[in-house]
Structures are given as structure tokens and as C-alpha cells.
């Protein structure tokens, strides 16, 4: 700051007018010096103390993110659907709503003549031509006929060589022999060999009912590969009335 020439401000005067002005200028200069010093000290303290405080609060080692929140135990996980199949092999679960079950057969019989079956020809109730009662039929035959029209809730189809095995949830095994070899009779009630052949991708059986009537079953994959159709063809009654029963199976739910 340039020094003030007091002679220029107060020409020809001194004494009482000079010393107050000198004191004022000195006070202002001292105040400015003090202010600059205080600002410098504050900046230095801020530069030193703030990084030290940050280092003191941070834990040792690398900074870790927040731990992942566990999934809610009560919230069911969505399961991806199984891919469609290209063959009849695998495990299947009965779709009772789309199958020709006993309740549906009774309902359909009321809307057709002589006791129909799902719009298909032929009765199968307790009347004439039904499978439930016939003169001279043994209890074992009646039981086998009931089992024939009682599909398993689940079944698995597998193939080894020319043999297709069907194992159901009742611990029964049916071996479908497709190479024409002689069938072996088994004394075990839960095992049976049945002649069969492939018609394209369909498996068609050739067998007989407990009464000796001809029966043919077909196992066929749906167009979308997500359902299996098991269709039973047979004749009943004295007039050999054709009877067709279809059971529908779905892909089982995927488990994790």
C-alpha cells in the first residue's frame, strides 16, 4: 500500500489533525494483515485435518459393498417350464380334466343313446355291453378290467433296444416288445410283456383284455410336444361295439 503524504492532505498543518489520521491508517493495515494471516491458517488447517478425518473413519482393507439381501423364504420361486419333447419317452403326469375319466363317462352317457363314452361309440357302464358285469366272469377278471380303465396318475416310458418299458406310480411294469420275439408269461401281477410296434413316432400295442377281447393302445405325442395321448381301442358287448378311451398326460412340473 502506497504511503500517504500527510503534507499533501494537510498542507501547512500538523499536530492535532495529523496524529488521529496516522492511528487510523495503522489500525486498518494491522487488521488487514491479521485477516490474511487468519485465512491462511484456516486453509492450512482444513487441508490437513479433513483428509485425516476421512482416513480415520474408513475401515482397513478394501471398501466392501452392501451385503446382498437374502430372498424371502415365503416367496415361491418361479420355475421355468420344461422344454417340449420329441418322443414319447420320459415321465408324464395324468391330466384328469382332459382325460376320459369315470365322471365324464357318466355325464356323456346321459346325452347319447345306449350309454355313450365321450361322444365315442359304445357303452361301458353297468348295462348290457358294459365291462363291469358279465355272466361267468371271475373276480380277478373284473379287477383287471377295472384296472384297465383306471389310468395311473404318473408313468415313465423308457426304451432299451427293441423294448419300451412303462413303469407307473403303482409299481407296475409293462414291457412293450417291438421286435416280434416270443413273449414271456410272468406270474408276477405287476409285470407283463405286451406285443407292440412303432407306427412312425406312435407306439401301438396288440393285446387282449382279461375277457379275451382284442385291445389296442396307442401312445402318441401331441403336436406341441407337451402332452402324451394314451388311447385305448377295444370292442365290448355281444355286438362288439367299438369303444375308444383317451387319457391325456402332461409334462411334470420342473423341480429344483
Helix, strand, coil percentages (3-state) for the chain, rounded to 5, are 25, 25, 50
Residue 112: the pLDDT is 46
pLDDT range class, residue 256, cuts 50, 70, 90: very low
For residue 235, the model assigns a pLDDT of 83
- Is the CB of residue 77 less than 8 Å from the CB of residue 255? no
- What is the structure's pLDDT at 147? 82
**85 belongs to a structural domain:** no
Same domain, 165 and 120: yes
Lowest-pLDDT choice from 116-130, 150-164, 198-212: 116-130
Distance CA 29, CA 73 (A): 75
* Count of domains observed in the chain: 2
Q: Which domain holds residue 26?
A: 13-56
Q: Is residue 68 part of a domain?
A: no
- The answer, yes or no, to whether residue 210 has pLDDT greater than 90, is no
Give the three-class secondary structure for 40. Answer: helix
Instruction: Give the pLDDT band of residue 125 (cuts 50, 70, 90).
Output: very low
**Measured between alpha carbons, how far apart are the two ends of the chain, in Å?**
86
Residue 158 confidence (pLDDT): 97
Same domain membership, residue 96 and residue 27: no
Mean pLDDT is lowest, of 29-38, 80-89, 213-222, for 29-38
Residues 30 and 94 in one domain: no
Matching residue, cell 485435518: 49
pLDDT, the chain, mean: 74
CATH number at residue 216: 2.40.128.20
Q: In which band, very low, low, confident or very high, does the pLDDT at 109 lie, cut at 50, 70 and 90?
A: very low
Q: Kindly state whether residue 199 falls inside one of the protein's structural domains.
A: yes
246 part of a folded domain:
yes
Are residues 139 and 200 located together in one domain of the fold? yes
31-38 CB contacts, 8 Å cutoff, 24+ apart: none
The answer to whether residues 159 and 220 belong to one domain is yes
The yes-or-no verdict on residue 9 having pLDDT over 60 is no
Q: Do residue 106 and residue 226 come from a single domain?
A: yes
Confidence grade of residue 63 (pLDDT, cut at 50, 70, 90): low
pLDDT tens digits for range 30-47: 667 767 777 677 676 666
In this structure, the answer to whether residues 113 and 236 fall within a common structural domain is: yes
Instruction: Enumerate the H helices of 12-151 as residue ranges.
Output: 19-57, 102-109, 139-148
Residue 69 in any domain: the answer is no
pTM value?
Answer: 0.59
In this model, does residue 182 exceed pLDDT 80?
yes
- Which pLDDT score is estimated for 148? 81
Q: Please report whether residue 83 resides in a domain.
A: no
Amino acid at each position: 500500500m502506497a504511503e500517504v503524504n500527510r503534507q499533501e492532505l494537510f498542507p501547512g498543518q500538523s499536530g492535532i489533525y495529523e496524529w488521529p489520521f496516522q492511528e487510523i491508517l495503522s489500525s486498518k493495515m494491522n487488521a488487514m494483515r491479521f485477516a490474511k494471516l487468519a485465512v491462511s491458517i484456516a486453509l492450512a488447517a482444513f487441508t490437513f485435518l479433513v483428509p485425516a478425518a476421512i482416513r480415520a473413519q474408513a475401515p482397513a482393507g478394501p471398501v466392501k459393498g452392501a451385503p446382498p439381501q437374502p430372498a424371502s423364504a415365503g416367496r415361491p420361486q418361479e420355475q421355468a417350464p420344461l422344454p417340449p419333447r420329441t418322443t414319447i419317452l420320459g415321465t408324464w403326469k395324468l391330466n384328469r380334466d382332459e382325460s376320459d375319466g369315470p365322471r365324464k363317462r357318466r355325464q356323456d352317457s346321459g346325452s347319447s343313446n345306449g350309454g355313450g363314452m365321450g361322444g365315442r361309440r359304445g357303452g361301458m357302464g353297468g348295462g348290457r355291453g358294459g365291462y363291469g358285469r358279465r355272466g361267468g366272469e371271475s373276480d380277478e377278471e373284473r379287477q383287471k378290467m377295472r384296472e384297465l380303465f383306471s389310468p395311473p396318475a404318473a408313468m415313465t416310458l423308457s426304451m432299451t433296444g427293441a423294448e419300451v418299458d412303462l413303469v407307473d406310480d403303482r409299481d407296475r411294469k409293462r414291457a412293450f416288445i417291438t421286435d416280434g420275439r416270443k413273449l414271456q408269461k410272468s406270474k408276477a401281477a405287476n409285470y407283463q410283456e405286451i406285443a407292440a410296434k412303432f407306427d412312425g413316432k406312435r407306439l401301438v400295442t396288440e393285446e387282449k383284455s382279461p375277457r379275451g377281447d382284442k385291445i389296442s393302445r396307442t401312445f402318441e405325442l401331441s403336436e406341441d410336444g407337451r402332452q402324451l395321448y394314451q388311447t385305448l381301442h377295444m370292442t365290448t358287448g355281444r355286438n362288439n361295439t367299438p369303444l375308444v378311451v383317451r387319457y391325456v398326460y402332461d409334462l411334470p412340473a420342473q423341480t429344483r
